[in-house]
Amino acid sequence: MDPAIFRAYDVRGVYPSQVNGEVAYVLGLAFGSMVKGGKVLIGRDVRLSGPELVKYLALGLEDSGLQVYDSGVVPTPALYLGVVEEGFDGGVQVTASHNPPEWNGFKFVTGTGETISQGMGMEELRERALSLRGRKAPEREANVKRFDVTGRYIERLKGLVRPRLRLKVAVDFSNGAGSVVGKKLLQEIGVDLVPLNDVPDGRFPAHLPEPTPETTEELRRIVRKMGLD
């Protein structure tokens, strides 16, 4: 386990050299030992390494005495909302955010919605994980229960956002997890939506998920060409 994967706000590295199934299992054990309670919710983004990391993360959490619930591919804020509003004792999102597709990682959240970060538990998580490195993951399937948070997330946001005007908006979903809820949410609050790259794909075929002048050029061109709001 490379200590460099422990960052200020998450655990993140290149798959499989820095982040892999064995690392995920140890992180599950470490975080599970910090959770005050009995159940934890996990989710992931669209990266191709996600299913393997979720599998071994769940095994580690289970072996630390927790019941694991899986929300599947969801945006990170949806996972956080599910943890807090549905009474989970903790949560983990398997994601590398805007990094290139060969990266992956883990964002940890407590039952009260506090993220594990520098000065807020990351040092403890790092110490516990490094003390457990070398622990081998068992070859079995975890007893994971399915738990949907996307419907709850969409309804929660619909209650917060009520546009006064019918807007015409283009959204570049970057083939990411945002497309799982974004299209439905925007259409249901009355937005005339022009979706771009809205098929979830962990290879990120259109462009990298990092919002830069280069990767947002198509979006800017469509907004100008169609005269969108």
Question: Residue 162: what pLDDT?
Answer: 85
Residue 162 and residue 185 in contact, taking contact as beta carbons nearer than 8 Å:
no
Nearest to 182 by CA among 74, 98, 43: 74
pLDDT tens for the 229 residues of the chain, in order:
999 999 999 999 999 999 999 999 999 999 999 999 899 999 999 999 999 999 999 999 999 999 999 999 999 999 999 999 999 999 999 999 999 999 999 999 999 999 999 999 999 999 999 999 989 999 999 999 999 999 999 999 999 988 899 999 999 999 999 999 999 999 999 999 999 999 999 999 999 999 999 999 999 999 999 999 9
Residue 70: CB atoms within 10 A of its CB come to 19
Neighbouring residues of 90: CB distance < 8 A, sequence distance ≥ 6: 31, 34, 35, 37, 40, 41, 66, 83, 108, 109, 110, 111
Cα 153 → chain centroid: 14
HSE-CB for 55 with a 13 A CA cutoff: 13
| Cα-only R_g, the chain | 18
Residues labelled as active-site residues? 97
Nearest to 48 by CA among 101, 97, 12: 101
Q: How far apart are CA 6 and CA 3, in angstroms?
A: 6
Cα 43 → chain centroid: 6
Amino acid (one-letter) located at 216:
T
- CATH number (3.40.50.12780, 3.40.50.300, 3.40.120.10, 3.60.21.10) of 3-150 reads 3.40.120.10
Q: How far apart are CA 218 and CA 229, in angstroms?
A: 16
Q: How far apart are CA 61 and CA 170, in angstroms?
A: 40
Q: Assign domain 163-226 to its CATH architecture.
A: 3-Layer(aba) Sandwich (3.40)
DSSP 153-199: HHHHHHTT---SS--EEEEE-TTSTHHHHHHHHHHHTT-EEEEES-S
Identical fold, 3-150 and 163-226: yes
Question: Residue 163: what pLDDT?
Answer: 87
Backbone angles phi, psi at 61, to 5 degrees: -65, -40
Q: How far apart are CA 61 and CA 190, in angstroms?
A: 41
Quickly count helices (H) and strands (E) in the chain.
7, 8
Question: Residue 158: what pLDDT?
Answer: 94
Cis geometry, peptide bond prior to residue 16 (ω within 30 degrees of 0): yes
Question: Residue 95: what pLDDT?
Answer: 98
Q: How do the domains of the chain map onto residue ranges? A: 3-150, 163-226
Beta strand 39-44 with 90-94 is parallel
